[in-house]
Amino acid sequence: MPKTPFACASVVFCVFCTLLAAPYKVLAVDRFAATETDRISILGAVQAFYRVEYSQTGPTIKLFEVGGGDPAMNGSFIDICMDHNATVFVWETGLNARHIQKIRINPGNTILLDVLEDVMDANATIVSRKKTYQVEFYIVNDVLQNRLSVTKRQ
């Protein structure tokens, strides 16, 4: 089945970000919410689902590991859905990992994601390593905004 243009663009973006993320550089990307059609199209590829509450008055946060990457190396794209005061947005984060290991909610509208990523070493062997990404979302006057920022932490 052919990939949708949205999924293909996501793969190209992930490759581009990987090329830019040389050692000691930080990947920081602003992401904008998916369209209604894109939100529905990812449901068939969901491999894992996590639900967390930011606070009693904050947004409900859902993270999805969505298939579509190379299953031999990583294989899951990470998408986030947030629901706050009847406003719902879904984002492709641009992250491609093997698996989410831990989700931490931090003050300041920040989520820390510990993921397991596969990389190829100098011997052409695929090895896994732990990486942490910071996801920052924005609420202005108690209204969820349609963008978030993703940053690789050192």
Tell me how far apart the alpha carbons of residues 134 and 68 are, in angstroms, rounded to a whole number: 22
The pLDDT tens digits along the chain (154 residues) read 444 444 444 433 333 333 333 333 445 566 667 676 665 666 667 878 889 887 778 899 999 998 876 777 888 899 999 999 989 998 989 999 999 999 999 888 999 999 999 989 999 999 999 999 999 999 999 999 999 999 998 6
**Which pLDDT does position 24 carry in this prediction?**
36
Give the list of residues 6+ apart from residue 135 with CB closer than 8 angstroms, or none: 80, 93, 110, 111, 112, 113, 148, 149, 150
**pLDDT number for residue 39:** 58
Q: Where are the domains of the chain?
A: 5-97+138-149
- Beta strand 110-120 with 99-106 is antiparallel
Question: Could you tell me how far CA 107 lies from the centroid of its own chain?
Answer: 19
**Residue 23 has what pLDDT?**
38
pLDDT attached to residue 41: 64
pLDDT on residue 38: 65
Q: For the whole model, what pTM was predicted?
A: 0.70
Q: Minimal CA–CA distance to 46: which of 65, 72, 73, 68? A: 65
**pLDDT at site 6:** 43
